[in-house]
A and B are shown apart, each in its own frame.
Chain A
Amino acid sequence: AQSVSQHNHHVILSEAASLELGCNYSYGGTVNLFWYVQYPGQHLQLLLKYFSGDPLVKGIKGFEAEFIKSKFSFNLRKPSVQWSDTAEYFCAVRGSNTGKLIFGQGTTLQVKP
């Protein structure tokens, strides 16, 4: 079955701490991978994406993610979080020739000032 699993449901960090959010997927064939973020009161917006090529991708606001094909993983990282990173983060996968996105259940990140 096609699915995405996000390991952490709720993460609490202090400012300047490092962040890693886990994401594993189950999907046959070539995939595209995404991280979306939803800030309080705002709609979903793209943080970063992987289509092909370099498995280490950089996104907005200092976020990066690494695609490890052998582990079916696409973990999100940031070396030093800020209070403004408080949000909900969603990992998503789709087949490379379809538009249908499959989302994980999300991780709520709370950054304490």
Chain B
Amino acid sequence: GAGVSQTPSNKVTEKGKYVELRCDPISGHTALYWYRQSLGQGPEFLIYFQGTGAADDSGLPNDRFFAVRPEGSVSTLKIQRTERGDSAVYLCASSLRRRGLAGGRSYNEQFFGPGTRLTVL
């Protein structure tokens, strides 16, 4: 089946501009995640959604970053007034929820998309 898709694959913009990055999760996956990966580093968590709501947005670096998932499927990561330090690969992942220990809720493994490489000049 189709995996996680992200568009565009590459985005070059100028400092101060606004950008939107799109993620299409695997069909039926209720959880969606955004990460950012800088060169030579591991992915860094930004935000994740369970359904339409943000379950944890503690990784968003500042108020220039915002993400939405209005219908519980596709998500858009929005970055205002871009800075050169925002240059990175932005990764999206999706997963199912599962029944965890003692009946609590947990999450299955995350499936990652190919990423969007953002370059801010």
Residue of B nearest to A32 (CB): B106
Contact between B42 and A90, CB atoms less than 8 A apart: yes
Q: Which B residues fall within an 8 A CB radius of A?
A: 31, 33, 35, 40-45, 48, 50, 55-56, 58-59, 91, 93, 95, 100-101, 104-107, 109-115
Q: How many residues of A contact B (CB 8 A)?
A: 26
Q: Which A residues from 54 to 112 make CB contacts under 8 A with B?
A: 90, 92, 94, 96-106
In the bound complex, residues from chain A placing their C-beta under 8 Å from that of B59 are: 100
Is A26's beta carbon under 8 Å from chain B?
no
Is A11's beta carbon under 8 Å from chain B?
no
Known interface pairs A103-B44, A105-B42; A96-B101 also in contact (CB < 8 Å): yes
In the bound complex, residues from chain A placing their C-beta under 8 Å from that of B35 are: 101, 103
Contact between B112 and A44, CB atoms less than 8 A apart: yes
In the bound complex, residues from chain B placing their C-beta under 8 Å from that of A103 are: 35, 42-44
- A23-65 interface code vs B (CB 8 A; 1 in, 0 out): 0000000101010100000011110010110000000000000
14 contacts between A and B (CB under 8 A): A4-B42, A43-B115, A44-B91, A51-B106, A96-B101, A98-B55, A98-B107, A99-B31, A99-B33, A99-B107, A100-B56, A103-B44, A105-B42, A106-B42
Known interface pairs A43-B115, A44-B91, A103-B43; A49-B100 also in contact (CB < 8 Å): no
